[in-house]
């Protein structure tokens, strides 16, 4: 990735350029391409199908180009790839996110930070998410942090947030009226959404984004 960045490619552009090589029917990922090779291939793709390339790029860029840090600033956490696993509270549904579990089941201890710069779009109590905050990143991705024990400050819709800024502390709020706690173990639910032609709120899998953020 670093060689590609040296050539002026953003993470979203790198993923878009490699997109034709990671389809299940081909599985022909170019293992040793450097930044110059990726840049040349990007130019070829733009020449062949500019509108298609730009559609894929805008989807990737909405997430990957803005990631600057991992969402838990201290302590050891674990998480698994459970995106769209079955959930039953409030009716049968898919799990639109990844749950980050702390080493100890303690509320109000582990700091949650913003993964990106952005603007607060939603804040406050939500039955399923408890105390939550939703941030729209610069490139258009929506990052949803749920089940907070408390907020770091009195956030309001429209507030600017910077990557790494503390949003609050990990908790176990939600699944009931405001103030409900203890219905599940302490954790951070991270949801990530993008806007597409078909949906204003398309859920994407946060697992790989978290893996990427851990390496930063």
User: Same domain for 55 and 81?
Assistant: no
Mean pLDDT of 155-183: 97
User: Same domain for 124 and 176?
Assistant: yes
Mean pLDDT of 26-45: 69
User: Same domain for 197 and 133?
Assistant: yes
**CATH classification at residue 184:** 2.70.70.10
User: Same domain for 84 and 164?
Assistant: yes
pTM of the model: 0.84
94 assigned to some structural domain: yes
DSSP helix/strand/coil, 101 = strand
109 assigned to some structural domain: yes
198 assigned to some structural domain: yes
71 assigned to some structural domain: no
What tens digit of pLDDT does each residue of 151-162 get? 999 999 999 999
155 assigned to some structural domain: yes
What pLDDT band is residue 29 in, cutting at 50, 70 and 90?
A: very low
Domain final position from 15, 32, 64: 64
The pLDDT score that the predictor gives to residue 70 is 97
User: Same domain for 33 and 111?
Assistant: no
Whose tokens are 């993008």? That residue is 194
First to last CA, the chain: 11
The pLDDT score that the predictor gives to residue 30 is 52
Q: What is the mean pLDDT of the chain?
A: 86
User: Same domain for 91 and 155?
Assistant: yes
Q: Among 2-11, 93-102, 195-204, 206-215, whose mean pLDDT is lowest?
A: 2-11
User: Same domain for 57 and 86?
Assistant: no
What pLDDT band is residue 10 in, cutting at 50, 70 and 90?
A: confident
69 assigned to some structural domain: no
What pLDDT band is residue 121 in, cutting at 50, 70 and 90?
A: very high
5 pLDDT higher than 80: no
User: Same domain for 46 and 6?
Assistant: yes
The pLDDT score that the predictor gives to residue 203 is 87
Tokens representing residue 174 in the block:
């939600």
User: Same domain for 101 and 163?
Assistant: yes
Q: How far apart are CA 135 and CA 118, in angstroms?
A: 6
The pLDDT score that the predictor gives to residue 59 is 84
Domain final position from 39, 64, 89: 64
Domain final position from 64, 97, 112: 64
Query: How wide is the angle at C-alpha 119 spanned by C-alphas 16 and 90, nearest 5°?
Result: 85
User: Same domain for 30 and 98?
Assistant: no
User: Same domain for 81 and 30?
Assistant: no
> DSSP for 33-54?
--HHHHHHHHHHHHHHHHHHHH
Ranges assigned E (strand) in 44-110: 77-78, 86-87, 93-94, 98-102
46 assigned to some structural domain: yes
User: Same domain for 113 and 57?
Assistant: no
Number of structural domains (the chain) is 2
Q: Among 26-40, 91-105, 111-125, 153-167, whose mean pLDDT is lowest?
A: 26-40
Tokens representing residue 144 in the block:
């949803």
The pLDDT score that the predictor gives to residue 27 is 41
> DSSP for 107-154?
TT-SEEE-SS-EEEEEEEEETTTEEEEEEEETTS-EEEEEEEEEESS-
70 assigned to some structural domain: no
Of 40 and 5, more confident: 40
Domain extent, residue 49, equals 2-64
């Amino acid at each position: 990735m670093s060689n590609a960045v040296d050539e002026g490619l953003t993470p979203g552009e790198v993923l878009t350029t490699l997109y034709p090589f990671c389809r299940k029917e081909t599985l022909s990922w170019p293992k040793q391409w450097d930044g110059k090779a990726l840049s040349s291939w990007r130019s070829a793709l733009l020449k062949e199908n500019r509108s298609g390339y730009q559609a894929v790029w805008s989807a990737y860029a909405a997430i990957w180009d803005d990631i600057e840090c991992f969402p838990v600033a201290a302590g050891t956490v674990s998480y698994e790839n459970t995106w769209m696993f079955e959930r039953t509270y409030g009716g049968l549904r898919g799990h639109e996110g990844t749950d980050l579990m702390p080493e100890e089941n303690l509320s109000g201890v582990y700091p949650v930070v913003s993964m990106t710069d952005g603007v607060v779009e939603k804040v406050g109590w939500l039955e399923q998410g408890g105390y939550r905050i939703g941030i729209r990143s610069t490139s258009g991705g929506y990052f949803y942090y749920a089940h907070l024990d408390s907020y770091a400050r009195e956030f309001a819709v429209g507030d600017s947030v910077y990557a790494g800024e503390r949003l609050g502390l990990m908790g176990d709020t939600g699944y009931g009226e405001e103030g409900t706690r203890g219905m599940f173990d302490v954790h951070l639910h991270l949801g990530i959404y993008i806007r597409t032609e078909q949906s204003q709120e398309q859920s994407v899998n946060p697992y790989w984004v978290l893996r990427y953020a851990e390496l930063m």
